[in-house]
Amino acid sequence: MRKILIGNAIETLACAFLEGNELECVEKNFSCRLGEIDLIMFEASSDTLVFVEVRFRSNVNHGNATESVDWKKQRKLRRTVLYYLQKNATARTNARIDVIGVSKIDTREQNMTFSAQSVSQHYFENHLLTWTQNAIEDA
């Protein structure tokens, strides 16, 4: 039960962060027999549906949050996204899959932002968010 509450809070945090970066929330926790998509956002500037996998790590001893999206999870996400697109989109709909890894941070460091290619790190509400855009291709 506690994990579900933490998961919902982290997804809400990630959604607020993305909305602050000019994405609009379309749907939360879409689920079908193939899997679940944490957030479905719309990026108006590129006319793109953005499917977001949100991962949280309270302890980085076993790797960071984004590293936990292994090939099995990637395959499951791809299939779920394709199912969603078949049911809800047109042939011209642009789509991508992003991953947001979330971890707790020291509040003394929260004004820094780093970015390299399609991966950027942001300090938001006492958390470090690692945003990987187009993390899983061929969606």
Split the chain (139 residues) into runs of 10 and give each run's mean pLDDT.
Answer: 81 95 96 96 95 84 72 92 92 90 62 54 85 77
Alpha carbon distance 106, 127 (integer Å): 8
Amino acid, single-letter form, for residue 36: E
Q: What is the pLDDT of residue 61?
A: 61
Q: How far apart are CA 127 and CA 110, in angstroms?
A: 8
pLDDT score for 60: 60
Instruction: Provide φ and ψ at 25, rounded to 5°.
Output: -75, 125
- The residue among 86, 103, 95 whose CA lies nearest residue 13 is 103
SS3 47: coil
Write down the pLDDT at residue 111. Answer: 40
The matching CATH number, chosen from 3.40.50.10490, 3.40.1350.10, 3.40.640.10, 3.40.50.1820, for 2-136 is 3.40.1350.10
Domain extent listing, the chain: 2-136
pLDDT reported for residue 8: 87
